[in-house]
């Protein structure tokens, strides 16, 4: 039987597994990603890529191509709730409410101040092939499609996995130092008996991916997602959604779309290949002449679960294998990229013998609370959706009463004014979906590969919207625009893949960092910010955000989270930095 040896085996060639494959390749770590399907996904699924993901992509040279293929800001400024797209009845084509999202509309200035990267939208069926291509280009032979991991066992030194090559019809084994379950929860976690906390089977959803010209009925090119609440809808949940999926036009002329529909438990008719078009026309009030080409129907269950454990010895979980939740704030794949950004540099240091295996414990310590918070958050967002129906006064399955409720909503009566005022409040709460800016970029680690400095936990916006930049250890490095040799450069652009970056205001840190880097054999770049430093603080943003005084320093990890800071000049800088790095890397002091 054939046998392969590789330091890291990745089970799953979805966004998470392919993302990890690229990040590891950039850090010089050999890995092998296995995908049981012959090809990348043929369904759009995940599509919104948030600011944080684009920061990770930018650090790894992926952002330009993702922006080139993805939705420009003008095509994703807001979400919109409507009664229908077509129809000419008194309740057709009525606006229920609009909400800015993803850094568009009124959010623009705030999002731009917080990051050099804007969000974009690129359906998974376009993103995965791109990631696969990049993974193969950077490390030829690092992905194997149509190869399935069947089982595995681990011992003190590694993991032995049993693989089926479906093309050749052969079995082989892989011996790896670590196995990463990036399999969407299908294989590795189940085999380990990983416990998932949280509710499942909350709703059944059907997504229909189709090609068709909806331009005659679309009046707003800036809407990324339309949601429909139909007065005549049958069943308990009458709503549905429509997302544009390009691939080349991101306005009303988008060539393809995804229609999302909830399956109502009290709706006797299952949505299937035969009736989906009729059901879509019915909800959107489109004429018979609208004949979409259905390309794929996907079914999924709404759940909100997180693995209690992310690490099981030499096996670690990432992405949907570790957390699965409603896509209300689009945090699924985006959180997966956060997972692998956190994991990749730690694996690299451990495999290169620069840090002990204990460093990998910090992956769980840091990422499990993020996954738990994201799952909890997404459930809040999911539940809040029903407030819209409730504020209008919709009664499950009662078409006539629902029609009257809509008539009241749009009526010039005291009851109508009250309903509209309540609806406005319910709409405002929906911001936790498309305006979850702090959830996207503001997550911070309390313990892990960092040195807490005893400072108080900063206040966070409980509604997940407003991000407050801080340099407290565990936080994301704040974004500021500096000037280097006359060229504008963002703080995140100064953190190279795999390298540590010490931001300071005195050149004396250079020799200190050089000595520390030599001792620990890690790369530390020093950025002296100041009039005669490496970079100038052109508009004073860094001075406002860095939270350090003269002689202080902030050490950013390769994943642009803060590992350590010294607010003022330490008495013995060399000793302080040395001890900090050892503590972060879990090296014996
Ligand atoms: C309708 C919808 C909309 C969404 N929108 C967004 C969004 O806008 N933004 C966002 O961030 N997220 C979104 N999500 C969530 C997102 O799709 C997922 O979080 C993400 O795709 C998970 O990626 P993954 O690689 O972890 O898992 P998966 O995509 O499930 O990939 C796992 C892969 O592992 C493979 N595999 C499993 N077992 C084995 C095995 N034994 N051997 C080999 N291969 C194996 C599977 O075939 C699969 O390809 C959405 C989800 C849905 C359903």
CATH number at residue 482: 3.40.30.120
CB of 330 closer than 8 Å to CB of 48: yes
**Helices (DSSP H) in 459-540: which residue ranges?**
509-520
Please provide the DSSP assignment of 525-567 as one string.
EEEEBSTTSSBB-TTSHHHHHS---TT-EEEE-TTSBEEEEES
Report pLDDT digits (tens) over 91-124. Answer: 999 999 999 999 999 999 999 999 999 999 999 9
Taking the CA atoms of residue 35, residue 41, residue 44 and residue 47 in that order, the dihedral angle to the nearest 10 degrees is 30
| Distance, CA of 99 to CA of 425 (rounded, Å) | 12
Q: Which atom of ligand 1 is nearest the CA belonging to 183?
A: 34
Task: Find all residues with CB under 8 Å of 470, minimum gap 6, and list them.
Answer: 444, 458, 478, 545, 547
How many structural domains does the chain have? 3
Task: Mark whether 364 and 327 lie in a shared domain.
Answer: yes
Task: Mark whether 455 and 535 lie in a shared domain.
Answer: yes
Task: Mark whether 389 and 459 lie in a shared domain.
Answer: no
Whether residue 110 is contained in a domain is answered as no
Task: List strand residue ranges (DSSP E) for 182-270, in order.
Answer: 196-197, 203-211, 223-228, 240-244, 256-263
Whether residue 439 is contained in a domain is answered as no
Report pLDDT digits (tens) over 74-94. Answer: 999 999 999 999 999 999 999
Task: Mark whether 313 and 394 lie in a shared domain.
Answer: no
Task: Mark whether 448 and 508 lie in a shared domain.
Answer: yes
Element (H, E) at 17: helix 15-26
Residue 217 pLDDT greater than 70, yes or no: yes
Task: Mark whether 370 and 396 lie in a shared domain.
Answer: no
Task: Mark whether 356 and 392 lie in a shared domain.
Answer: no
Query: For a pocket test of ligand 1, which of 23, 327, 328, 434 has the largest count of ligand atoms closer than 8 A to its C-beta?
Result: 327
Residue 222 pLDDT greater than 50, yes or no: yes
Whether residue 396 is contained in a domain is answered as yes
| Distance, CA of 141 to CA of 137 (rounded, Å) | 9
Q: What is the CATH number of the domain that holds 173?
A: 3.50.50.60
> Whole domain around residue 462: which residue ranges?
444-585
Q: How is residue 272 written in tokens?
A: 């299937």
Q: Which atom of ligand 1 is nearest the CA belonging to 150?
A: 41
Whether residue 423 is contained in a domain is answered as yes
State residue 238's pLDDT score: 57
Q: What's the 426 CA to ligand 1 centre distance in angstroms?
A: 31
| Distance, CA of 422 to CA of 231 (rounded, Å) | 18
- Residues 61-79, mean pLDDT to the nearest whole number: 97
State residue 310's pLDDT score: 98
Residues lining ligand 1, Cβ inside 6 A: 11-17, 34-37, 45-48, 124, 148-149, 182-184, 186-187, 207, 300, 319-320, 327, 330-334, 336
Q: What's the 543 CA to ligand 1 centre distance in angstroms?
A: 41
Q: How is residue 82 written in tokens?
A: 């409507």
Q: What's the 177 CA to ligand 1 centre distance in angstroms?
A: 25
The sign of the dihedral angle between the CA atoms of 9, 12, 16, 17 is positive
Query: For a pocket test of ligand 1, which of 17, 32, 35, 45 has the largest count of ligand atoms closer than 8 A to its C-beta?
Result: 45
| Distance, CA of 418 to CA of 362 (rounded, Å) | 51
Report pLDDT digits (tens) over 308-333. Answer: 999 999 999 999 999 999 999 999 99
Q: What's the 12 CA to ligand 1 centre distance in angstroms?
A: 9
Q: What's the 213 CA to ligand 1 centre distance in angstroms?
A: 28
Whether residue 246 is contained in a domain is answered as no
Query: For a pocket test of ligand 1, which of 185, 187, 320 has the largest count of ligand atoms closer than 8 A to its C-beta?
Result: 320
- Residues 498-512, mean pLDDT to the nearest whole number: 97
Considering only CA atoms, which residue is closest to atom 2 of ligand 1?
A: 45
Task: Mark whether 423 and 485 lie in a shared domain.
Answer: no
Please provide the DSSP assignment of 352-407 as one string.
TTSS-GGGGHHHHHHHHHHHHHHHHHHHHHHHHTHHHHHHHT--TT-HHHHHHHHH
Task: Mark whether 161 and 18 lie in a shared domain.
Answer: yes
Boundary (domain end) residue, out of 343, 360, 379: 379
Q: Which range, of 9-23, 59-73, 231-245, 408-422, averages the lowest pLDDT?
A: 231-245
Report pLDDT digits (tens) over 189-213. Answer: 999 999 999 999 988 888 999 999 9
Considering only CA atoms, which residue is closest to atom 6 of ligand 1?
A: 46
Please return the burial class of 75, using the count of CB atoms within 10 Å of its CB with bins 0-12, 13-18 and 19+: buried
Whether residue 281 is contained in a domain is answered as no
Whether residue 542 is contained in a domain is answered as yes
| Cα 305–chain centre separation | 16
Considering only CA atoms, which residue is closest to atom 32 of ligand 1?
A: 183
- What is the phi/psi pair of residue 443, to 5°? -65, 145
Q: What's the 499 CA to ligand 1 centre distance in angstroms?
A: 29
- Residues 250-263, mean pLDDT to the nearest whole number: 93
Boundary (domain end) residue, out of 379, 397, 420: 379
Task: Mark whether 392 and 339 lie in a shared domain.
Answer: no
Task: With CA atoms as reference, report the closest residue to 124 among 180, 53, 226.
Answer: 53
State residue 466's pLDDT score: 97
Task: With CA atoms as reference, report the closest residue to 76 among 118, 46, 115.
Answer: 118
Nearest-10 crossing angle of helices 15-26, 124-138: 30
Residue 269 pLDDT greater than 70, yes or no: no
Residue 185 pLDDT greater than 90, yes or no: yes
Task: Mark whether 470 and 551 lie in a shared domain.
Answer: yes
State residue 276's pLDDT score: 86
Task: Mark whether 312 and 422 lie in a shared domain.
Answer: no
Task: Find all residues with CB under 8 Å of 248, minimum gap 6, and list them.
Answer: 255
Residue 234 pLDDT greater than 70, yes or no: no
Task: With CA atoms as reference, report the closest residue to 225 among 82, 432, 387.
Answer: 82
Whether residue 580 is contained in a domain is answered as yes
Report pLDDT digits (tens) over 527-536. Answer: 999 999 999 9
Q: Predicted confidence band at 503 (pLDDT cuts at 50, 70, 90)? A: very high
State residue 204's pLDDT score: 84
């Amino acid at each position: 039987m054939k046998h392969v040896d590789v330091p890291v085996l990745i089970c799953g060639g979805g966004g998470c597994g392919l993302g990890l494959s690229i990040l590891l390749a950039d850090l010089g770590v050999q890995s092998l990603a296995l995908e049981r399907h012959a090809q990348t996904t043929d369904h759009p699924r995940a599509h919104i890529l948030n600011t944080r993901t684009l920061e990770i992509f930018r650090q790894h040279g992926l952002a330009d191509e993702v922006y080139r293929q993805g939705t420009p800001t003008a095509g994703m400024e807001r979400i919109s709730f409507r009664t229908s797209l077509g129809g000419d009845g008194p309740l057709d084509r009525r606006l229920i409410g609009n909400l800015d999202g993803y850094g568009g509309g009124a959010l623009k200035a705030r999002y731009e101040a917080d990051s050099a990267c804007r969000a974009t939208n690129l359906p998974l069926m376009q993103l995965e092939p791109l990631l696969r291509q990049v993974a193969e280009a950077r490390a030829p032979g690092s992905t194997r499609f149509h190869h399935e991991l069947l089982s595995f066992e681990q011992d003190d030194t590694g993991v032995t996995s049993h693989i089926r090559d479906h093309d050749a019809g052969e079995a082989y084994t892989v011996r790896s130092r670590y196995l990463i379950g990036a399999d969407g929860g299908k294989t590795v976690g189940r085999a380990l008996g990983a416990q998932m906390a949280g509710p499942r089977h909350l709703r059944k959803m059907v997504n229909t991916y189709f090609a068709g010209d909806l331009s005659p009925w679309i009046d707003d090119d800036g809407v990324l997602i339309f949601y429909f609440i139909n007065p005549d809808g049958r069943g308990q949940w009458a709503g549905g959604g429509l997302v544009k999926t390009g691939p080349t036009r991101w306005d009303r002329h988008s060539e393809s779309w995804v229609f999302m529909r909830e399956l109502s438990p009290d709706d006797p008719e299952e949505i299937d290949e035969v009736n989906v078009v009729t059901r879509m026309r019915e909800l959107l009030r489109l004429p018979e002449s609208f004949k979409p080409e259905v390309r794929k129907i996907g079914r999924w269950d709404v759940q909100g679960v997180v693995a209690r454990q992310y690490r099981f010895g030499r096996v670690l979980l990432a992405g949907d294998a570790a957390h699965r939740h409603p896509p209300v704030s689009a945090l699924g794949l985006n959180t997966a990229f956060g997972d692998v950004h956190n994991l990749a540099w730690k694996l690299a240091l451990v495999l290169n013998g620069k840090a002990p295996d204990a460093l990998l414990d910090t992956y769980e310590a840091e990422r499990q609370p993020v996954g738990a918070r994201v799952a909890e958050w997404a459930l809040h967002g999911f539940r809040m959706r029903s407030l819209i129906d409730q504020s209008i006064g919709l009664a499950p399955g009662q078409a006539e009463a629902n029609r009257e409720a809509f008539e009241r909503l749009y009526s010039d009566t005291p009851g109508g004014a009250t309903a509209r005022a309540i609806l406005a409040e319910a709409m405002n709460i929906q911001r936790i979906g498309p305006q979850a800016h702090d959830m996207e970029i503001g997550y911070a680690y309390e313990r892990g590969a960092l040195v807490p400095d005893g400072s108080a936990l900063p206040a966070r916006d409980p509604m997940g919207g407003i991000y407050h930049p801080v340099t407290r250890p565990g936080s994301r490095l704040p974004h500021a625009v500096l000037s280097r040799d006359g060229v504008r450069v963002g703080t995140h652009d100064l953190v190279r893949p795999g390298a540590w970056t010490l931001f300071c205001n005195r050149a004396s840190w250079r020799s200190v960092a050089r000595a520390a880097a030599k001792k620990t054999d890690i790369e530390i770049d020093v950025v002296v910010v100041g009039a005669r430093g490496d970079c100038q603080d052109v508009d004073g943003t860094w001075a406002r955000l860095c939270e350090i005084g003269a002689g202080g320093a902030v050490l950013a990890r390769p994943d642009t989270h803060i590992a350590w800071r010294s607010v003022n000049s330490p008495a013995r800088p060399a000793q302080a930095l040395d001890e900090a790095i050892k503590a972060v890397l879990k090296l014996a002091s």
